[in-house]
Structure 1
């Protein structure tokens, strides 16, 4: 027998054997846990999108106020000594 066939036979024997009893209420517990995980994921996604939106809005406001693409005006002239 080759190795994969041997493993397949072991799995078939395990599945053909007696099945253990499941605890009562397992489906309800799984549903409650699943809904809790979904709520947490939804809240995390909402929080991340909100933080991203606030960061983009803050950057836009900063860019409009500071106008970093413009050259700053020259308020002083260089000294004219030595002419």
Structure 2
């Protein structure tokens, strides 16, 4: 295929009438888009709820166990009778 034939083929393709989309395509796209948005919103809310639950659980654990307090020493006997 030479250059002139390619240009003619490209012109024929560009001059074609654009295909008409199905009439119910817009409604289907809108339904699917709104469904995706609802699903994303629900997942986002669930993840925020999970994050809050983890923070509350960690806070309760930290307040009850108090990991920042040094445990009493069990390796040396107490000093008595000096």
CA gap of 1:13–1:38, structure 2 versus 1, over 3 A, is: farther
Q: Which runs of 5+ in 2 are unaligned?
A: 1-9
Instruction: State how 1:37-76 maps to structure 2 within 5 Å.
Output: 37-75=36-74
Indicate the structure (1 or 2) with the bigger Cα radius of gyration: 2
Distance (Å, rounded) in 2 between the aligned partners of 1:13 and 1:46: 52
**Normalised by the size of structure 1, how large is the TM-score?**
0.71
The 1:26–1:15 alpha-carbon spacing in structure 2 relative to 1, beyond 3 Å, is: farther
Relative to structure 1, is the Cα distance of residues 14 and 59 closer, same or farther in structure 2, using a 3 angstrom cutoff?
A: farther
Corresponding residue SS for 2:47: helix
Distance 1:73 1:30 in 2: 66
Distance 1:26 1:56, change over 3 A: same
- The alignment's TM-score, normalised by the length of structure 2, stands at 0.71
1:21 maps to 20
* Counterpart Cα distance in 1 of 2:12 and 2:45: 47
